[in-house]
Amino acid sequence: MATVCTLAWVHGLVQGVGFRYSTQREGLKLGLTGYARNMDDGSVEVLACGEAEQVEKLVAWLKAGGPRSARVDKVLTEPHQPDRQWKDFSIRY
């Protein structure tokens, strides 16, 4: 299977509610690599790499609202060609 990468920006009440940790847990469960990190504008950036079907499952989870404590208003995505390989799914600061 070919590896695909998707970059997503999640907007809403997504900082300070465990969003990155829940996203990391979901990404690892799906066998993905990449990261989740808070952005200065209050959004969370998520890079997900792996089998296309698994990446789509994570994007669907993000669009469905992520963890219960979060409120997702919108999710923007675009295909991405990373300049490095990710070994796991991490939280970046």
- Is residue 92 annotated as part of the catalytic site, yes or no? no
Indicate which residue of 20, 37, 68, 84 is catalytic: 20
- Is residue 68 annotated as part of the catalytic site, yes or no? no
Going by DSSP bridges, is the β-strand pair 33-38/89-92 parallel, antiparallel, or unpaired?
A: parallel
The residues near 57 (Cβ < 8 Å, ≥ 6 apart) are 30
Indicate which residue of 25, 38, 68, 84 is catalytic: 38
C-beta separation of 7 from 46 below 8 A: yes
Quote the DSSP letter at residue 52: H
Q: Give the residue numbers annotated as catalytic, written as ranges.
A: 20, 38
